[in-house]
Amino acid sequence: MQHGLASPGPGDPLGPLAAELEALPPERRRRLRALQPHGPAGLAPSPEGRPLLDLASNDYLGLSRHPRLQEAARQSIACDGVGAGASRLVSGSRPIHHALEQALAQWLGRERVLLFPSGFQANLAAVQALADRHSLVLADRLIHHSLLVGVQASGARLRRFRHNDLSDLEAKLQYARADGQAQRRVLVLSESLFSMEGTCPDVPRLVALCRKHGAALLLDEAHALGVLGSGGRGLGYGAGEIQLISGTFGKAFGSGGAFLACDALVGDWLLQHSGPFRYTTALAPPLAAAALAAMELIQHSESQRQRLLERAERWRSALEAAGWPRPAGFGPVLPLLVGDDQRALDLQQQLEAQGLLSVAIRPPTVPSGTARLRLVLRQDLPEGSLDLLLRALGSA
């Protein structure tokens, strides 16, 4: 039997998939490629391939290959094995899980933390904890796909507000409360550092608006934790009115997995009712051990964080001086807006030919007409990386 994208016959259950793939423009198609680690901040397309300076990964502090994380993972494997073997509510809970949860709760000033194998699962659980089919969800237009899937799974009504436009959010909150639905549960969704935009909302004002209008707030801190906020604890640190904070260990923590931080009431609800928590194998113990080691390092990394943010400001100014649109925001994510999908792919290949890895981000990950190179700064990038980038980009 031949498999491919030939026109499906009538009644073919996979016909819609084949038709959709056939209609996908070449510049929108995704492809997987294996990249071999090559030094502290390098990757190569194969063991024999030319090394590429990594300007793409979210390993902001360069901790994924830190000796203390590697040693913590090795010790955990020797003690607990590689996988947990079951969900947390069966036999998969290990002392390292509890140690990490307690350490995170103390560090973030929260009453309860629960671990999840992925940020996607954590966000699904978070939305379903705070919203149901009777709820209204007001979400930033550019929130992560996992949060949108969570809204869909909850059955809540969704309305979007303009990206980081808190005046638009306030208008929608006022309308929600004046629409004869004063007692309706309202949930606001935002991120503290938007991973494709590099931008941050005014979190204190966001919290104040939600408090004023009686709305719950879920703040995704995946890309801010370890880098932004007091002690690297994110931009929501100290704002007790945030009902749920989600975070991941796959970015600045250099490990894998995720967590939700909340008060005791929401934490107990998640433990008793959350399907994404209950029906999944527990986070692999070596990843939990590495995340705990990373958190301890992050607590003593103020100077590295400051240097990273100062470097980000220099890169933004230098790109603007070279004629490129100034990347928005102030953190380590620098989106270089291009607009056209193919042009973004061409720039990706142009940089790779000069030994730099930066991936073209295209719709549907970003809105149509806003394709970009997503440049990511890491604490361990060598000096001279900016000059290499400017030469490789050439004239804007």
Domains, the chain: 34-61+303-389 (3.90.1150.10), 67-298 (3.40.640.10)
Residues involved in catalysis: 58, 144, 191, 195, 220, 223, 251
Mean pLDDT value across the chain: 93
Convert the pLDDT of each residue in 191-206 to its tens digit: 999 999 999 999 999 9
Contact 250, 288 (CB under 8 A): no
**What integer is the mean pLDDT of 117-128?**
97
Q: How far is CA 359 from the centre of its chain?
A: 16
**What integer is the mean pLDDT of 255-263?**
97
Which pair of tokens denotes residue 143?
């929130």
CA–CA dist 239, 216 (Å, integer):
13
Which pair of tokens denotes residue 303?
């100077």
Say whether pLDDT at 35 is over 90: no
Given this model, what pLDDT does residue 6 score?
Answer: 53
Convert the pLDDT of each residue in 139-188 to its tens digit: 999 999 999 999 999 999 999 999 999 999 999 999 998 866 667 899 99
With cut-offs at 50, 70 and 90, classify the pLDDT of residue 1: very low
pTM of the entire predicted model: 0.92
Q: How far apart are the first and last CA of the chain?
A: 50
- How many Cα atoms within 13 Å fall on the side-chain side of residue 293? 23
Which pair of tokens denotes residue 358?
């930066």
